[in-house]
A and B are shown apart, each in its own frame.
Chain A
Amino acid sequence: MTHPGEITRRQLLRRIGMTALAAGPGAGVLSACATAGTGGGEPAATPSTSLPASADPRNPFGVDAKKALEVVIFSGAYGDAYAKEVHEALYKQAFPGVTVTHTATQEIGTLLRPRLVGGDAPDVINNSGPKSMDLAALAAEGHLADLTPLFDAPSVDDPAKKVRDTVTPAVLANALVTGKNLVLNYTVSHRALWYNAKLFAAKGWKVPATWQEFTALGETAKKEGILLFAYPGQKGPYYQLWNVLYTAAKIGGNQVILDIDNLVDNAWTAEPMQRAVTVWVDVQTKYGDKAYFGLDHTQTQIKQLQNKVLFYPVGSWIENEMVKDIPDDFEYAIAPIPEVTGADKMPYGAIQVGVGENFVVAAKGENPQGGLEYLRIMLSKEGARRFTEKTKNVTVVNGAAEGVDLPAGLLSAARAQDKAGQNIITEARFEGWYKELFDYGTEQINVVMAGRITPAEFCARMQKKADDVKKDDAITKQTRSQ
């Protein structure tokens, strides 16, 4: 009988050799890891991501009903029932017997990045949420299917009309990633300041139209123990970054945001931006409460529902988000940003209306035709109307919300949009294009609002970061003209 203690040094070495041999087959396991298979040279050519359109208006992409379709949905504020019970059901109805695989996740990038890199892409991806993927990087690798055939395809409801003519024009402007139509934005949201219409009615207060009225209301509210304004310093400081950017656009026009997105020199230090930061820091100092720097969005929103905060900078999804907690004496309504200088480029009433909620089709998936068809079904009147019913949010499809029983807040947003007419504040796209700059902004907005730096320092810091991004060759640059 041998005893393990008898093993000599030489034997031990030999055994390591043996075990290395035994581990040999395991090396195959490694091929599934990050860098495996990515060490090759330049790819021969960018793969074609465009699909030919077929003649049949009911099946313009020539979908093969035998091919399965895989849909991955970000399960955030909208949930995933709208996909499962509406769009996927409609797809199955259109192609009887087809298999649809549904996956819901809150971590899109964590789940899908390895799958895309490994060549196992799902067909439809709802690229949203904090873990969403960098679309420019995906586009550079040819992972995203061209949506031009979708926009040019006949619409589900009226074959004589192209899809591009059934949606709000912002969809087409926002479809572009590095100059190609690659992403569909599905929802419309209205962003400005949100308040409790019932409280204002009960107190006989008027929604302030000028900054003087705004701060005067702040004094009145202060006497009643109500804060004029608060934003969540934890998890939601970007609400305030948006708010400041939109205020700057109101003062100086949309060009302010366009310049920032295009990384134009000194875009952040421009006068409207400086002014916007200054007036909001002033509001925070005089009528705010520093405790909110440590509260998250839910805590802050609950405080507003308790009438401890008058105005909250957010978008129209707020009503559905808080639907379970809204008390009887509370009714959400939107208030435009008050006139700041008296000579703002955009008149009072301008609000931000934007499209959001990204959907892309994988070019290298099993069934890109099915993916495009799925998006076409989403853009049908029925698909859009039932989305609105499920999520209480409107879609980009024209007239799809007609006849749907919309809640009060959403109606107030729709009326505000009517009043605003052409004075629509644009969205800041550097949020998706240059995440590093946006994240830095969400950090610095807390610093300036807390009074640890001056508004001028804030603008200078943001400009420096924007310059750094501009200089960084590793970051894909994008531009916009409208």
Chain B
Amino acid sequence: MERLRKYGFVAGFLAVPLTLYTVFVISPYAQAFQLSLTSWNGYSSIVRYVGLDNFGRLFGDEVFWRALRNHGILLLALPLTTIVIALFLAFLLNLGGGTRGAGMRGVWGSGFYRVVFFFPQVLAVAVVGVLFQAVYRPDEDGVINGVLARFGVAPVGWLTEPDLALWSIIAVMVWQAVGFYVVLFSAGMAAIPKDYFEAAALDGANRVRLFFSITLPLLRDTVQVGWIYLGIAAFDGFALIQVLAGEKGEPDGATTILPITIYNTAFSYQKVGYASAMGVALFFLTVTFAVLTLRTTRRERVEL
């Protein structure tokens, strides 16, 4: 009786979330794997299995490789830039003021900056997209080009030059992400005991030395988490690119990424089977990335 009560209790709690999880997460994944082996067009009542043909086609698909290349760039540039900027700002906000009285403090006005940095995080991606459309507008009515025009510089097609477009979008992604990581790293820095800094400062370490010898090593776990989050974010970017660059990853596919290619293949070209194969590829890419990152950055934890 007692066992029944115990199990019944636990099962009762698990039933609803597990059902929801199965229906909305597990089953679409399973279906994507199933569909990737078919040539289904989204309407047909006959689902024809074509084995691994879809995956074979992926290898010869120029658009797929272009999307992968863009993912590669995003995967390197986005986490790296965001983390470097966020670390720098978090250091200034928390420890940049040096030792004054008891413990470390941030630069003057850091409370204000903390709020300002976090602002972009509050905006919805679509809002950010529309906002930066105005910023990047390719004629003199654009925010950046308007300023350039005053100095006699011809308007720059931030989003229409194939060599610039992806970087312009990465800049927006970094701008939006930095605030969150400043907060995350600030929390991490707050957890570092003040004595370490004081001791190091007594030994004559300057702020740069403090950062590289004390802050960074003790923040390793937090930075690692940030890296994985940003890596996963780099696999997305769908909404922002759709709004800013266009629904095919214009210009010339310079900003196309897998989710955009998948969306068009499935819903514009009615190749649901082939799109599912791309989805499966994306799934494995994301998992591989997470596993690799966790493996390569694993190290003995520093005991505080």
Q: Which residues of A contact B (CB under 8 A)?
A: 2, 4, 14-15, 18-19, 22-23, 26-27, 29-30, 33-35, 38-43, 109-110, 113, 116-117, 131, 133-134, 137-138, 140-141, 143, 233-235, 289-295, 435-436, 439, 442-443, 446-447, 450, 452, 474
Q: Which residues of B contact A291 (CB under 8 A)?
A: 138-139, 155, 157
Q: Which residues of A contact B293 (CB under 8 A)?
A: none
Closest B-chain residue to A42, C-beta based?
B46
Residues of B that sit less than 8 Å from A by CB: 2, 6-7, 10-12, 14-15, 18-19, 22-23, 27-28, 31, 34-35, 39-47, 136-139, 155, 157-160, 162, 246, 248, 250-253, 264, 267-272
Q: Does B250 lie within 8 Å of A2, measured CB to CB?
A: no
Q: Are A26 and B39 in contact (CB under 8 A)?
A: no
Chain A interface secondary structure, helix, strand, loop or mixed?
helix
Selected from A15, A443, A446, the residue in CB contact (under 8 A) with B11 is: A15
Q: Which residues of A contact B40 (CB under 8 A)?
A: 35, 38
Please report whether the interface of chain B is mostly helix, strand, loop or mixed according to DSSP: loop
In contact, B160 and A290 (Cβ under 8 angstroms): yes
A23, A117, A233, A290: the one within 8 Å of B19 (CB):
A23
* B27→A134 contact, CB < 8 A: no
The answer to whether B45 touches A2, judged by C-beta atoms less than 8 angstroms apart, is: no
Q: A2-B6, A290-B138, A474-B271 are in contact. Are A35 and B31 (CB under 8 A)?
A: yes
Given A19, A131, A235, A436, which contacts B246 in the complex, CB threshold below 8 Å? A235
Q: Which residues of B contact A23 (CB under 8 A)?
A: 15, 18-19, 22
Shortest Cβ distance from B63 into chain A, in angstroms? 10
Q: Which residue of A lies closest to B10 (CB)?
A: A15
With both chains docked as a complex, state the minimum distance between the C-beta of A398 and any C-beta of chain B, in angstroms. 35
Given contacts A43-B45, A137-B43, contact A30 B27 (CB under 8 A): yes
- Among B10, B15, B31, B45, point to the contact of A33 (Cβ < 8 A): B31
A18 near B251 (CB under 8 angstroms)? no
Which of B2, B28, B46, B158 has a CB less than 8 Å from the CB of A41? B46
By a CB distance below 8 angstroms, the chain B residues around A138 are 43
> Would A290 and B41 count as touching, CB distance under 8 A?
no
**B23 and A19 contacting across the interface, CB-CB below 8 Å:** no
Q: Which of B12, B22, B43 contacts A141, CB < 8 Å?
A: B43
Given A131-B267, A134-B270, A19-B43 contact (CB < 8 Å): no
Min CB distance B141 to A, Å, is 9
Contacts of B136 on A, CB cut-off 8 Å?
A: 294
Residues of A within 8 A of B159 (CB): 294
Given contacts A22-B15, A35-B31, A137-B41, whether A15 and B248 have CB atoms under 8 Å apart is no
Question: Which of B23, B41, B248 is the one whose CB lies under 8 Å from A29?
Answer: B23
Whether A113 pairs with B264 at a CB distance below 8 angstroms is no
Among residues of B, the one whose C-beta sits closest to the C-beta of A26 is B19
Asked if B251 contacts A293 (CB within 8 A), the reply is yes
Report 28 cross-chain contacts, Cβ distance below 8 Å, ordered by A residue.
A2-B6, A15-B7, A15-B11, A19-B18, A22-B11, A22-B15, A22-B19, A38-B44, A38-B45, A38-B47, A39-B47, A41-B46, A43-B45, A113-B42, A113-B43, A134-B41, A134-B42, A134-B43, A140-B43, A292-B138, A294-B159, A295-B138, A439-B248, A439-B264, A439-B269, A443-B253, A446-B251, A450-B160
CB distance from B12 to the nearest CB of A (A): 8
Taking the closest CB of chain B, its distance from the CB of A363, in whole angstroms, is: 13
Chain B residue nearest to A235 (CB atoms) is B246
Contacts of B251 in A (CB 8 A): 293, 446-447, 450
Which 4 pairs from chain A and chain B are nearest by CB? A294-B138, A26-B19, A291-B139, A22-B15
Whole-angstrom CA separation of A291 from B161 in the bound complex: 10
One of A26, A43, A116 near B22 (C-beta < 8 A)? A26
A18–B43 touching, CB < 8 Å: no
By the criterion CB–CB under 8 Å, are B14 and A19 in contact?
yes
Task: Tell me the minimal C-beta distance from B245 to chain A in angstroms.
Answer: 9
Task: Evaluate contact between A293 and B139: CB separation under 8 angstroms.
Answer: no
Question: Is B14 touching A137 in the complex (CB atoms < 8 A)?
Answer: no
Roughly how many angstroms separate A25 CA and B31 CA in the complex, as a whole number? 19
Can you name the residue of chain A whose Cβ is closest to the Cβ of B141? A299
CB pair B44–A140 under 8 Å, yes or no, is: yes
CB neighbours of A18 from chain B (8 A): 7, 11
In the complex, what residues of B have CB within 8 A of residue A294's CB?
136-139, 157-160
Please report the C-alpha to C-alpha distance between residue A354 and residue B42 in the assembled complex, in whole angstroms.
30
B2 nearest CB across to chain A (Å): 7
* Residues of A with C-beta under 8 A to B44: 38, 137, 140-141
B187 to chain A, nearest CB (A): 28
Q: Please tell me if the beta carbons of B268 and A22 are within 8 angstroms of each other in the complex.
A: no
Q: How far is the CB of B164 from chain A (nearest CB, A)?
A: 11
Closest Cβ neighbor of A110 among chain B residues? B267
Pick the contact of A474: B39, B252, B253 (CB < 8 A): B39
CB pair B162 A43 closer than 8 Å: no
With a CB–CB cut-off of 8 A, which chain B residues contact A141? 43-45
| Contact in complex: A435, B269 (CB < 8 Å) | yes
The answer to whether B41 and A19 touch across the interface, beta carbons within 8 angstroms, is no
A26 partner residues in chain B, CB cutoff 8 A: 18-19, 22-23
